Amino acid sequence: MTTIEKTAEQWTAILAQKGAEPGAFEVTRHAGTERAFTGKYEQHWADGSYHCICCGAKLFESATKFDAGCGWPSFSKAIPGAIVDKVDNKYGMRRTENVCAQCGAHLGHVFNDGPIDEQHTTGLRYCMNSASLEFKG
């Protein structure tokens, strides 16, 4: 259950105030997807954390980010309680959609094909849209 609810106009104003990417509203509020290899965080490797662009909730630590070669920022582990999983049966596929636990913003999807090594132990790949994220260093 999301705790932050706003109108489309309010979300649009918040995203504009934050200087969000042009497609951020479509991605976060209508479960859109940015084109692969176009997002500003796909090849971003600074130390810090990634937050929901809509409400500011902390979602991922930069130490969990890895290059999956898929064209979207990928993480092996989310901040506990920050993300809610939803069944997504669109486009003839059964996937697990990730939304922000605080505001319900669409973030991306999680898959079971992530790395397993000393740093990334979950085997998960949280495949996120850059347009749904805000980096804080």
Paired residues of 136 in beta bridges: 49
CA dist 41 and 51 (Å) reads 12
The one-digit pLDDT tens for each residue of the chain (137 residues) are: 568 999 999 999 999 999 999 899 999 999 999 999 999 999 999 999 999 999 999 999 999 999 999 999 999 999 999 999 998 778 777 889 999 999 999 999 999 999 988 888 899 999 999 999 999 99
Q: Say which DSSP state 132 is in.
A: G
CA dist 130 and 73 (Å) reads 7
Nearest to 5 by CA among 105, 134, 81, 84: 105
Q: Say which DSSP state 34 is in.
A: P
Nearest to 101 by CA among 78, 117, 123: 78
Give the residue numbers annotated as catalytic, written as ranges. 127
Report all structural domains of the chain as residue ranges with CATH numbers, in order of start: 8-136 (2.170.150.20)
Residue 130 backbone phi and psi in degrees, to 5: -55, -35
